[in-house]
Structure 1
Amino acid sequence: MECLNNDTEESKQLLAMLMLFCDCSRHLITILDDIEVYEEQTSFKLEELLTISSFLNTFVYKMIWDGILENAKGEKLELFHSVHGWLMVLYERDCRRRFTPDDHWLRKDLKPSLLFQELEKGKRRAQLLLQYIPHVIPHKNRVLLFRNIVTKEKESLGLVETSSASPHVTHITIRRSRMLEDGYDQLRRLPVNSIKGVIRVKFVNDLGVDEAGIDQDGVFKEFLEEIIKKVFNPALNLFKTTSGNERLYPSPTSYIHENHLQLFEFVGKMLGKAVYEGIVVDVPFASFFLSQVLGHHHSTFYSSIDELPSLDSEFYKNLTSIKRYDGDVGDLGLTLSYDEDVMGQLVCHELIPGGKTMPVTNENKISYIHLMAHFRMHTQIKEQTAAFIRGFRSIINPEWLHMFSTPEVQRLISGDNAEIDLDDLKKHTVYYGGFHSSHRVIIWLWDILSSDFNAEERAMFLKFVTSCSRPPLLGFAYLKPPFSIRCVEVSDDQDTGDTLGSVLRGFFTIRKKEPGGRLPTSSTCFNLLKLPNYSKKSILRDKLRYAISMNTGFELS
């Protein structure tokens, strides 16, 4: 760092050597595939990449935080972009497949509270740090910043209730039997600010009768969840799942729907609305698709081949094996084309004009590999991806997501992949109908979840109640509506909350009617668990285990 503040010839030579090293190394690592980087460790050992990435991270941080970048011109500015480019290539590869330990990228000498104070004051160094290396801040703090940005936008657009004004409310009526069609027809033409605002849903049942519903956000949550279940179900053929890990990406044959591009834009808006409102949904995306949503594919050093394993790991292995083929690749009989079975018909896609008559040779095999990867992940679904991104970005400003990596955006959509914190869940649970934290059924429930259920069963339980198997990123304090448990001996219209009378009734109603044969149920729209007042802990455990195992929600992950 001293060289940056010195204008001596020696300092200039050292910085020039650093820039040359970064530029050459960045180009080299970009053309290496995962086998060469992680298994063969071509050119760099993983330990060396660890040391290099630590140095680059510190160098870029110091240039920003010490104010050097603010006034940098000419060679210093070129040096910064060179070092930063090499750093981000390593960071993004680490995000795809880890080679660093936990917290490797964090700057422990940087207090998030100080950074956020400087952001509020418009300090340039804080803005630059968030622009170039947001990963030095803990993920949780960046999520808090994201939620704060959304809240401020809602306030500026008049979408939150104040003492002087109420937000505009959009009312829609949805037939249960035609939920997707009605939702699409009524929401696709709404102004963006109306979609960002309050939307109240009234459901109409199969008999054409309005359902009795509570005018709260929970009904919209149910509508949003049901829409998402339908549009992301591979049976609809808007989206497909990757082989092996079943991650979602746009279907290349979605054109069977006449209005498929309009549907993709609508789906993008609905997912954007879920993220905007902090509603977590179990929708696992292929990372190559999320990278496109984030705009990573526009980077100068983006390589399609790096993302191919997230689409088809077997196809990736077969394709990269051509790179290492010792003999004459021409003997394999390949051409610069891709043959695909499309609904029973063999279709030949040319990777370049005239590609079906151009053989793959030892000279062009590297180009063939990259062309094939680009075709599978980009060209085939270019229009669908563009429509989805257009809808998503109309709700979520792409600059807001710049502070997250691809895996972190998946967590923003689907919640935390960490173990469920039962203490946090218990702390933020609301009880109704006579139940309370000291009720024996509630004590049994928490004991069963912590002692009898394993991690998978706890995730199934959470999905049973909330429709998502993962907890919110910032904890259950941010779950909307709050997690609730109600005794089903009290009907919905009679439940007035946890009063002294309702608590006493909860102790005595069990003797009126033995509920042992009933199963627990849930209302995912309100994150509500409905429990009978069971007489034995063993009955509660068995009934709950059966209920969550029979939950037939749309589960891909």
Structure 2
Amino acid sequence: MLMLFCDCSRHLITILDDIEVYEEQISFKLEELVTISSFLNSFVFKMIWDGIVESARGETLELFHSVHGWLMVLYERDCRRRFAPEDHWLRKDLKPSVLFQELDKDKKRAQLLLQYIPHVIPHKNRVLLFRNMVTKEKEKLGLVETSSASPHVTHITIRRSRMLEDGYEQLRQLSQNAMKGVIRVKFVNDLGVDEAGIDQDGVFKEFLEEIIKKVFDPALNLFKTTSGDERLYPSPTSYIHENYLQLFEFVGKMLGKAVYEGIVVDVPFASFFLSQLLGHHHSVFYSSVDELPSLDSEFYKNLTSIKRYDGDISDLGLTLSYDEDVMGQLVCHELVPGGKTIPVTNENKISYIHLMAHFRMHTQIKSQTAALIGGFRAIIKPEWIRMFSAPELQRLISGDNAEIDLEDLKKHTVYYGGFHGSHRVIIWLWDILANDFSPEERAMFLKFVTSCSRPPLLGFAYLKPPFSIRCVEVSDDQDTGDTLGSVLRGFFTIRKKEPGGRLPTSSTCFNLLKLPNYSKKSILREKLRYAISMNTGFELS
């Protein structure tokens, strides 16, 4: 009976749209879904943790897959639009430390738990597990510095004026292992003259961030933004670029490299595209209609209104096709062979809705998506990220969406140029951030210094390079680092000139804030607020 209930319920909930599930609450009330999902979660956990699944055969195995299928449909629906309370999916009786010990010993039940219901493990523990997997691979491939060996280093030379073109040409042919390894970047100007680089890792971070900023700029037309929340997905007309599929593969590798190295990048993806990156669209339980609101909420409403249309749908004159304006020309896409001659009727309108959703999110961008995923998986193994939901993958890419923990940031800040934790300018700074700035301004401040408005998932201890603040003098337009004189002046709060006219600046490649030794807290607050609102960074002092 349990198997029959799970199979029937799963098929029913799969064909219901969000309005029917959350507003009309057809078949199940939301509180009933909470109760059912809690039971299913416990049932699957017990079957795995008690060793039943390891030796299961026949009907027992069928029952497990039936219950697990219904559970995952509910879990993924909750990930898209919450119906369950926070921490509903976690198992309080499962200690992450015990699980990790069993994974290290290759215990089968721990592996099965990670394979089937990773959501029972707290998210931050899964992120730690992911980072551990990356570290182990780096050690295995010899990509970590040891006392007996140094990792292979790939050197590339990049012109700032042609950063994307040079990066693409020099990196796209690298082997997987070379892409995962150390890459040193040397910037040159158009005359071939080297730029000074204080820290090579910082220069690579700057290069990676600039490449990602360029390729994901909708003006380039490799990616488009969704209506409303402006989230990114591959542009259907990106084929206008020569070698566009190779470009998407390169983008996938660069995105994978950022995740591999733990560099957070401010790239908000559409939820449906994140699901494809995770491989969810290959699941037999996947529904394109469920994901459609993340692409175009208005289009979703129009499609679902067809489902609710009481009259004869054929009166609307629709066919199994989709007309699209492509650069001034009307192009007809048939959803099935001969679709432009097949009318939409009351009998086939549900098929029409699913075909249209699948076309918009998959068929239309199939080759671009496949190329990007191929590049991404060349760096990030699919099994490493299957333990994350789509929103969790976004957080892995772009950092935590929680409010910035100033105490954690303060604890992991490094000071230069005479600044220290008890320096009056530093005390003013932390007080301004805590008491004068809004949460939005604190996010702008973090973006100003690190290029990302969100903190790292595991806290600022994992920010690389570490968050730093340097005391700079009023005339230090070309920052030469710390000198004995500048350090002593900063330490003893001696100013060569009154720096009131100079703005704070930053070097995002080093996560470095360059702060003048202001004489008043009010001046610091005014200048810092202006600098972060203009996002001046290193360009203006």
Aligning the two structures, in what range does the TM-score lie when normalised by the shorter sequence? Answer: over 0.9
Contact 1:204–1:211 (CA under 8 A) maintained in structure 2: yes
**Does structure 1 conserve the Cα–Cα contact (< 8 Å) formed by 2:505 and 2:536?**
no
Residue 498 to residue 53, structure 1, CA distance change in 2 (3 Å): farther
Quick check: 2:79–2:391 contact (8 Å CA) kept in 1? yes
Q: Do residues 275 (structure 1) and 259 (structure 2) align?
A: yes
Q: Residues 556, 297 of structure 1: CA spacing in aligned structure 2 closer, same or farther, 3 A cutoff?
A: farther
Note the alpha carbon deviations across 1:166-213, whole angstroms, 9 max, x for none. 000000000000000000000000011011000000001244311011
TM-score by length of structure 1 reads 0.94
Give 2:280's match in structure 1, choosing from 277, 296, 300.
296
Deviates more, 1:126-135 or 1:206-215: 206-215
Partner SS, residue 218 of structure 1? helix
Return the alpha-carbon distance in structure 1 between the equivalents of residues 395 and 141 of structure 2: 27
- Provide closer, same or farther for how the CA distance between residues 414 and 390 of structure 1 changes in structure 2, counting only shifts above 3 A: same
* Structure 2 residue matching 1:170: 3-state secondary structure: strand
User: Do the aligned residues in 1 keep the contact of 2:474 with 2:497 (CA within 8 Å)?
Assistant: no
Task: Give the drift of 1:489.
Answer: 2.0
Fraction of identical pairs, as percent: 91
C-alpha change, 1:554 and 1:498, in structure 2 (3 Å) is closer
Which whole-Å deviations, capped at 9, do the CAs of 1:296-340 have from their partners, x for residues lacking one?
Answer: 000011100000000000110011000000111111111111111
Kindly tell me: are residues 546 and 492 of structure 1, through their superposed partners in 2, closer, same or farther at Cα, counting changes over 3 Å? closer
Size of the aligned set, in residue pairs, is 541
Equivalent-residue separation in structure 2 for 1:271 and 1:376 (angstroms): 24
The CA deviation string for residues 446-500 of structure 1, in whole angstroms up to 9 with x for no partner, is 0000000000000000000000000000000000000000011299999999999
Cα distance in 2 for partners of 1:225, 1:335 equals: 45
Contact residue 436 and residue 498 of structure 1 kept, 8 A: no
Q: Is the 8 A contact 1:481 1:526 kept in 2?
A: yes
Task: Indicate if the aligned counterparts of 1:246 and 1:556 stay in contact, CA closer than 8 A.
Answer: no
Q: What CA distance in whole angstroms lies between the structure 2 residues aligned with 1:21 and 1:284?
A: 38
The residue correspondences of 1:351-362 to structure 2 (distance < 5 A) are 351-362=335-346
- Distance in 2 between residues matched to 1:344 and 1:248, nearest whole Å: 23
Partner of 2:50: 66
Q: Distance in 2 between matches of 1:136 and 1:21?
A: 23
1:511 CA drift (Å): 3.6
> Is the partner of 1:436 in helix, strand or coil?
coil
- Counterpart check, 1:345 vs 2:357: no
1:316-368 CA-to-partner distances (Å, cap 9, x unmatched) read: 00110000001111111111111111111111111111111111110100000
Q: Secondary structure at the match of 2:77?
A: helix
Distance (Å, rounded) in 2 between the aligned partners of 1:450 and 1:351: 55
1:79 positional shift = 0.2
> In the TM superposition, what is the alpha-carbon distance from 1:551 to its structure 2 partner?
1.1
- How large is the RMSD of aligned CA atoms in angstroms? 2.5
Would you say the 8 A contact 1:339–1:349 is kept in 2? yes
CA distance 1:317–1:494, change in 2 (3 Å)? closer
CA contact (8 A) 2:344 2:352 kept: yes
| Matched residue SS, 2:402 | coil
* Whole-angstrom distance in 2 between the partners of 1:437 and 1:509: 13
CA contact (8 A) 1:283 1:556 kept: no
SS in 2 for 1:283: coil
Distance 1:122 1:496, change over 3 A: farther
- Which is further off, 225-234 or 499-508? 499-508
- Greater alpha carbon shift after TM alignment, 177-186 vs 495-504: 495-504
Shift of 1:117: 0.4
Matching residue of 2:162: 178
User: How far does residue 222 in structure 1 lie from its aligned partner after superposition?
Assistant: 0.1
Aligned to 2:348: 364
CA distance change for structure 1 residues 517 and 552 in 2, over 3 Å: closer, same or farther? closer
Mapped to 2, the partners of 1:363 and 1:298 lie a distance apart of: 27
Q: How does 1:478-489 map to 2 (within 5 A)?
A: 478-489=462-473
- Measured after TM superposition, the shift of residue 503 of structure 1 is 5.4
From the superposition, tell whether residues 168 and 493 of structure 1 become closer, same or farther in structure 2 (CA, over 3 Å): farther
**Is the 1:434–1:487 Cα contact (8 Å) retained in structure 2?**
yes
Q: Compared with structure 1, are the counterparts of its residues 221 and 550 closer, same or farther at alpha carbon in structure 2 (3 Å cutoff)? A: same
Deviating above 6 A after TM superposition, structure 1's stretches of 4 or more consecutive aligned residues are 490-502, 552-557
Q: Distance in 2 between matches of 1:75 and 1:234?
A: 52
In structure 2, what is the Cα distance between the partners aligned to 1:537 and 1:507? 17
The 1:298–1:556 alpha-carbon spacing in structure 2 relative to 1, beyond 3 Å, is farther
Contact 1:247 1:556 in 2 (8 A): no
CA deviation map 1:239-294 (0-9, x unaligned): 00000000000000001101100000000000000000000000000010110111
Structure 1 residues 542 and 491 mapped into 2: Cα distance closer, same or farther (>3 Å)?
A: closer
Q: Give the TM-score taking structure 2 as reference length.
A: 0.97
SS in 2 for 1:339: strand
**Which consecutive residues of structure 1, in runs of 5 or more, have no partner in the other structure?**
1-16
* Mapped partners of 1:230, 1:501: distance in 2: 40
Greater Cα shift, 206-215 or 523-532: 206-215
> How far is 1:214 from its partner?
2.3
Q: 1:352 to 1:405 in 2, by over 3 A?
A: same
Contact 1:434–1:506 at 8 Å: present in 2 too?
A: yes
CA distance in 2, matches of 1:101, 1:498: 51
Shift of 1:510: 3.9
Question: Which 10-residue stretch deviates more, 453-462 or 492-501?
Answer: 492-501
Looking at structure 1, the residues matched to 124 and 459 of structure 2 have their Cα atoms a distance apart, in angstroms, of: 10
> In 2, are the aligned partners of 1:489 and 1:509 still within 8 Å (CA)?
no
Matches within 5 A, 1:49-448: 49-448=33-432
Give SS of 2:324's match.
Answer: strand
Pair 385,395 (structure 1): closer, same or farther in 2 beyond 3 Å:
same
Alpha-carbon deviations, 1:142-167, whole Å to 9, x = none?
A: 00000001000000000000000000
Q: 1:388-438: per-residue Cα shift (whole Å, max 9, x none)?
A: 000000000000001111100000000000000000000000000010000
The whole-number CA distance in structure 1 between the counterparts of 2:485 and 2:536 is: 37
Question: Are the aligned partners of 1:433 and 1:506 in contact in 2 as well (CA < 8 Å)?
Answer: yes
Aligned partners of 1:229 and 1:554 also within 8 Å: no
For the 8 Å contact 2:396–2:457, the answer to whether it is kept is yes
CA contact (8 A) 1:431 1:498 kept: no
1:555/1:340 Cα in 2 relative to 1: closer, same or farther (>3 Å)?
farther
C-alpha distance 32-554 of structure 1, shift in aligned 2 (>3 A): farther
Determine if contact 1:432/1:495 at 8 Å carries over to the other structure: no
Does structure 1 residue 547 correspond to structure 2 residue 531?
Answer: yes
Distance (Å, rounded) in 2 between the aligned partners of 1:101 and 1:381: 35
Q: Which residue pairs with 1:526 in the alignment?
A: 510
